[in-house]
A = this chain, B = another copy of it.
Amino acid sequence: MRIGEAAKASGVSAKMIRHYEAVGLLPAAARRDSGYRDYGDSDVHALRFIRRARDLGFSLAEIAGLLALWRDKARASAEVKRLALAHVEALERKARDLSAMASTLRHLAAHCHGDARPDCPILEGLAGGGG
C-alpha cells in the first residue's frame, strides 16, 4: 500500500511516517518504480506500535529502544519492564509538578476577589512573593 493508506491504517500521518524514516526510527521503506513508498501489514504494525508509545508519552529516542526490543525475539522482558517503569516514574513526576503548579495558582486565585477593582493577589504573588 502507499503511504496514505498506511497513514490511515496506523493513525500516523504520512508526514510523520516520512519523518520517522528520515530520523532513522524506521528503516527505509520499499519503493515502487514510480518512487512511491510501498508498505505492508508489518509496517503498519510497527507504525501502530510507535503511535501507541507516543500516546503514552515515550520520546522518539525511547521508542527507538522499545522497537529494538520489540523486534528482538530473544530479548529479556526484564529490560522492557525496566524501561517502562522508569518512564512511569518520569510521567508521575511530571504529573505531580503540574499539580503543584496548579494548586499554587489556584491558591493565589482564591484570594483574588475577581471584580472590577484592580487589587489582585495573583499579580502580587507573581511580582513579589517568595520562591
Contacts of A48 in B (CB 8 A): 127-128
User: CB of A115 within 8 A of chain B?
Assistant: yes
A101 at the interface (CB under 8 A from B): yes
Interface size class for chain A?
35 or more
Chain B, residue nearest A85 (CB)? B109
Which residues of B lie under 8 Å from residue A69 when comparing CB positions?
120, 123
Interface 9-residue window, one of A1-9, A17-25, A32-40, A51-59 = A51-59
A73-131 interface with B by 8 A CB criterion:
73-78, 80-82, 84-85, 87-88, 91-92, 94-96, 98-99, 101-102, 104-106, 108-109, 112-120, 122-123, 125-129, 131
Partner of A49 from the list B45, B49, B66, B127 (CB cut-off 8 Å) is: B127
Contact of A75 among B49, B74, B118 (CB under 8 A): B118
